[in-house]
């Protein structure tokens, strides 16, 4: 058994060199005797997801992964990402709606996301149904952002070592991998943005991410959580944003009306795209509209485009009332069918959670691991 795994399972600290050795041996399939790589990979994920390790071990793990990832290049000025850890109450795809709304307000957005792990449909599942493609590389992301003001980044933003880990696990279940990626994905993805709004549903995840956010370079991380345990800002809950410049408290009703409940934000699996497009036009009810606008306002402030919450929230409401976010989504569905450098999620897998490259066996990849 690799020393990193031995220490992890014994709840002892794992240092950077041990993690580096783990990924090197995983890459070269030298973790142990034949056929033990999969067992050790499964045990590693069980150890990481059953109970998050100490902060030093997590920091070393994140460094060992991000140092192996290709650099995305310079951040696009004033650009933002919005992503959540999942695990909270079930809602429709609020972060994707907020991303499109912010883009319609003129905020450059590079959005990362995933397939569903704890939700009815993740952002990748939704985009697939809408016909909106993911970018296949950092150059394609820059091109898409320049063309449309928003880009939905594909799995290339995650360290390649994660793909090797998923490949090693296959055909075992990838749910533990998805759970780990939900929690650590916001600090592992290499996204060329200046700021990122990360919704955090649980106190455990928040406690893990706060020290990790400080070591992320190239972008400012805002970590958001609230009294309802959702991984989005909610107008009817007490919200807190942890930023490098201090905490921002948004009590219920301080920016948007505090009426409404989580039931007003429930997912609509039988009408996934129809309800989503209705929400983008500001016609899914006042609670949904104000929730989208509140999160879009946060993106506008994080980007520097706005400096006052009320003004940003009003601008988001105006965009929704005009139907601009829905129009943008519909343009993306049309334009990206012929845009070079994008990849469509459906139709490429030969088994659940896999994709096939010419001359190779099916290979799982990070976005599928959260299904």
Classify 343 in phi/psi space as left (phi over 0), alpha (psi -120 to 50) or beta. beta
d(CA 337, CA 370): 25
| Higher-confidence position of 356 and 87 | 87
Contact criterion met (CB below 8 Å) for 309 and 250:
yes
Q: How far separated are the first and last CA of the chain, in Å rounded? A: 29
**pLDDT, the chain, mean:** 88
pLDDT of 177? 85
The structural domains of the chain, ordered by start, are: 3-68 (1.20.970), 80-335 (3.40.1030.10)
Element (H, E) at 125: helix 123-130
Question: Which pLDDT tens digit goes with each residue over 186-205?
Answer: 999 999 999 999 999 999 99
Sheet holding 239-243, edge to edge: 150-152, 109-111, 80-84, 195-199, 220-226, 239-243, 246-250
What mean pLDDT is predicted for residues 144-165? 94
Q: Which position has the higher pLDDT, 278 or 370? A: 278
Residue count (the chain): 371
pLDDT tens for 3-33 read: 999 999 999 999 999 999 999 999 988 887 7
At residue 52, the 3 state secondary structure works out as coil
Lowest-pLDDT range, 81-85, 178-182, 353-357?
A: 353-357
CA distance linking residue 161 with residue 34, whole number of Å: 20
0.75 exceeded by pTM: yes
Q: Tell me: the pLDDT tens digits for 205-262? A: 999 999 999 888 889 999 999 999 999 999 999 999 999 999 999 999 999 999 999 9
User: For the segment 309-320, what is each residue's pLDDT rounded down to a tens digit?
Assistant: 999 999 999 999
Interval 291-308: pLDDT, tens = 999 999 999 999 999 999
pLDDT for residue 347 is more than 60 = no
CB 65 within 8 A of CB 221: no
pLDDT band with cut points at 50, 70 and 90 for residue 81: very high
């Amino acid at each position: 058994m690799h020393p990193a795994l031995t220490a992890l399972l014994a709840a002892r600290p794992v240092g950077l060199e041990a993690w580096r050795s783990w990924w090197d041996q995983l890459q070269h399939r030298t973790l142990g005797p034949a056929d033990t790589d999969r067992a050790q990979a499964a045990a590693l994920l069980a150890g990481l997801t059953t109970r998050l390790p100490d902060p030093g071990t997590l920091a070393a793990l994140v460094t060992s992964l991000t140092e192996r990832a290709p650099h995305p290049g310079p951040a696009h000025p004033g650009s933002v990402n919005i992503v959540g850890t999942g695990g909270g109450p079930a809602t429709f795809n609020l972060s994707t709606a907020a991303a499109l709304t912010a883009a319609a307000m003129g905020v450059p957005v590079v959005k990362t996301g995933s397939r569903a792990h704890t939700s009815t449909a993740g952002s990748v599942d939704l985009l697939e149904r809408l016909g909106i493609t993911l970018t296949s590389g950092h150059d394609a992301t820059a091109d898409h952002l320049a063309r449309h003001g928003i880009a939905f980044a594909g799995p290339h933003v995650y360290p390649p070592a994660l793909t090797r880990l998923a490949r090693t696990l296959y055909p075992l279940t990838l749910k533990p991998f998805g759970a780990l990626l939900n929690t650590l994905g916001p600090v592992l993805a290499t996204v060329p943005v200046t700021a990122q709004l990360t919704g955090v549903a649980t106190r455990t995840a928040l406690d893990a991410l706060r020290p990790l956010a400080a070591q992320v370079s190239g972008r400012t991380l805002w970590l958001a959580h609230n009294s309802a345990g959702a991984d989005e800002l909610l107008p009817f809950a007490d919200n807190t944003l942890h930023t490098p410049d201090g905490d921002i408290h948004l009590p219920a009703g301080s920016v948007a009306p505090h009426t409404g409940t989580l039931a007003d934000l429930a997912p609509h699996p039988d009408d996934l795209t129809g309800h989503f497009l209705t929400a983008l036009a500001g016609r899914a009810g006042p609670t949904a509209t104000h929730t989208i606008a509140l999160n879009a306002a946060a993106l506008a402030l994080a980007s520097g485009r706005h400096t006052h919450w009320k003004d940003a929230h009003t601008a988001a409401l105006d965009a929704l009332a005009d139907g601009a976010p829905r129009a943008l989504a519909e343009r993306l569905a049309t334009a990206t069918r012929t845009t070079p450098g994008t990849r469509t999620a459906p139709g490429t897998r030969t088994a659940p959670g896999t994709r096939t490259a010419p001359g190779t066996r099916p290979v799982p990849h990070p976005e599928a691991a959260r299904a």
